[in-house]
Amino acid sequence: MSSPAAAAALASTVTSAAALGFVPVAVRFQLFNILADLDRPVSGQDVLTALQDRTNNKPRQDVPCLLLIQDTLYAMSGLGFVDFAGENLYRANAITKHLAATPAAQHGAVHFTTEALLAGAFLMRKLEAENFQYPFKERETPFQLAYKLMGHEELAKEHTYSIMATEGRMDSFNHFMVGKFMKTNTAPDRLQALGYDLESVLNNAQPSTPLTMVDIGGGRGEMLLDFKAAFPQLQTSDLIVQEFNHDITDIPGVTLATWNYKDESPQPIKGALIYHLAHLLHNLSDLEALRLLKKISEAMAPHSRLLIHEFAKNVNYAKMHAAMITFSPERVWGLEDILYGTAYAFDIAHMVFIQRSFENGLGRHMWFLSDAERNLALKNEFISQPLAVTASMLSRSGMMCFLYTCFSSVDKQIRLSIIICMAIQVVVNSVTAVQIIVQCGPNPYHASNRVSYFHYMWDNPPADSSVVCQSPAVQTTIGFVQGGFNTTIDFFLTALSAVQLWRYTIRATDSAPAQDKPLFSRIRRMPRQALFRRIWQTVSLSGPLLLSGIASIVKTYLLKTLGERNDITHNTVPFILWVKIENYSILLATFAPMIRLFVSMVSTDKGQSGGYWSNSRSKNSHPGLELDSQPHTQKKGAVVMSVSAAEEAVQNTDDDWKRASSRAHHRHRSSDLQDGSSGVTVRTEIVVRVSSDKASTERLVI
């Protein structure tokens, strides 16, 4: 049912867009400052006169006309930024005075009414242009489309912040990031309010432990300066801001370091006491956020901690979330995704030709087939062979790209090994596929298009011997070489993925030196849930790769059937079977990163709330992320996640963790948040165990 109040609210909201376009005008000509200084009802002419007086009688090239001042003030009154005090009269209100007293808020207002407003205007056009593909890809957001349609083709290829830098907007944006829209409590006070005792962390640090704090993407260092003011023991050398911003060249009171976390370089500062990520992850895609967290985790020492400062998702930040969508992608598709998709396409094509060959006699003895059936069966079978080889090559390449992304920053030798394996298998499999197609040619030999002779693999060659095909032994030999390389690479990838998965887990859950305890003893010390989760992850990722290697061995052994042309339609069936097992194993391994999401969704649909790879038969609810004794819901303003490794080996048993989880569960159930819809459920592969003093976490379980 319609109502005048609803209509008025609707009109007031949707007509704000054009009025917001006048905000940069108001900031440019200091209208908020002038109204706050005058602090009485004034006309547009009064404001213009005050603006001219502020120039100290120096001529200004950009002095606006009276009508622009009047319309801008009128628009600001519609937005509620100033009060409408009568016909052509305006007066400062609380928002006006806040803007005047907080320069950072004015810079923020310009940012959202310039870049965000422009991007929002092209959101629907972007969706329509790409048939509503969503989320957006990196550097292909509505903001880039706006610049493309305005004729700035080069800028349209850049990231949002690169475009802002070219437009001279980064200095204003940096000032906004320093103070935001308001001056809140200091960083130490915010942490204390959330139950994180930073003072205890600093005071309890071992004498050999550095007090280094690293603020990644920390802008002009305002957060670290808050820490320096609160804790006198922190020196300038202890407080490091990592930035990749040419507009920031020096920050008095802290140390400025340059690091571009988006490139391949690892975190250069090792073993800091605390790493901070303050309002940074929301600007990154899922993949980039994971890469950054991985780089930080590899730089952390047993005493290190990671504090993530972000706003919880709530209705008050819905508009901010929409602005981030128009600037940044939610998920970045990598090269491995393209390779996976292409491999699936080739594999489906291979299946189509095998099915057609089967319909014409594949699997039956040749002497039971007519000439037409024999010809069609062989034709489809031979055409399918290079498709199978190509599918195998692409899926292996995609898997190696995925492993390179996961483990490239761990060790230079690992990175180089993956690249070498990828290059070898591409060359070997490409040669094999080409050899299958060009093994027939003219006799005597002369330069020609040998692809046009491929059909003689199933058609009878001319009686005059003008066409000759290679001996089946040649293809068998090449197949043996290809199979040997593929088998070796599959086993290498199996070992690499398994070793690295367990290496991360053991290092995260047991901080004791590796030489102090044997491997199996360290594995037994892992929490049971983490142990089961890692076992399933190893099976889902390394298991298919191991099966692929085994299938490659069997397939290579069966290559001899290709040389038995007298009954090839019958003898090649086992070979084709193991080719499919090999290809499907690799393609199944590509699903490993997504299987946990599928299992989680199925678990959620059944009403279970266990974490990824947890015991699915359990009906208990174990929170995967404990922040402090207070439940964090949508009503909370900010969430600070503390991640650390223990300074000493933790002696708690698995039963202790179960009791702790049970207590946390009962606290949540007894709170006033009985309606689960009002809270935020965090699903994560990182399980954080919080110690009783809430000053630090005791274990990080990946």
Which residues are CB-neighbours of 464 under 8 A, at least 6 positions away? none
Instruction: Report the distance separating Cα 273 and Cα 299, nearest Å.
Output: 11
Is 159 tagged catalytic?
no
Instruction: Report the distance separating Cα 596 and Cα 574, nearest Å.
Output: 33
Nearest-10 crossing angle of helices 592-605, 528-557: 130
C-alpha atoms less than 13 angstroms from C-alpha of 380 in its C-beta half-sphere: 22
Instruction: Report the distance separating Cα 344 and Cα 87, nearest Å.
Output: 69
Instruction: Report the distance separating Cα 174 and Cα 249, nearest Å.
Output: 12
Instruction: Report the distance separating Cα 394 and Cα 220, nearest Å.
Output: 45
Amino acid code (one letter) for 154: E
Which residues are CB-neighbours of 235 under 8 A, at least 6 positions away? 211
- Six token digits for residue 503: 């290496």
Strands, E assignment, 355-501: 440-442, 467-469
Which residues are CB-neighbours of 220 under 8 A, at least 6 positions away? 174, 177, 178, 241, 248, 251
Nearest to 562 by CA among 482, 488, 490: 482
Nearest-10 crossing angle of helices 654-670, 528-557: 120
Q: Which backbone phi and psi does 285 adopt, to 5 degrees?
A: -70, 170
What is the C-alpha end-to-end distance of the chain, expressed in Å? 52
Write down the catalytic residue from 152, 279, 282, 668: 282
Q: Strands 89-91 and 42-43: what pairing?
A: antiparallel
Instruction: Report the distance separating Cα 190 and Cα 210, nearest Å.
Output: 23
Q: Strands 467-469 and 440-442: what pairing?
A: antiparallel
- Decide: 283 and 324 in contact? Cβ < 8 Å: yes
Instruction: Report the distance separating Cα 477 and Cα 456, nearest Å.
Output: 21
Q: Which backbone phi and psi does 695 adopt, to 5 degrees?
A: -85, -20
Polymer length of the chain: 702
- Decide: 617 and 633 in contact? Cβ < 8 Å: no
- Decide: 508 and 500 in contact? Cβ < 8 Å: no
- Decide: 89 and 42 in contact? Cβ < 8 Å: yes
Neighbours of 488 (CB within 10 A): 15
Instruction: Report the distance separating Cα 153 and Cα 73, nearest Å.
Output: 35
Helices of type H across 470-572: 472-509, 519-524, 528-557, 568-571
Strand partners, 699: 689
Instruction: Report the distance separating Cα 20 and Cα 14, nearest Å.
Output: 11
Neighbours of 284 (CB within 10 A): 22
Q: DSSP character for 195?
A: T
Largest CA distance in the chain: 107
Neighbours of 451 (CB within 10 A): 12
Instruction: Report the distance separating Cα 163 and Cα 172, nearest Å.
Output: 14
- Positions annotated as catalytic residues are 282
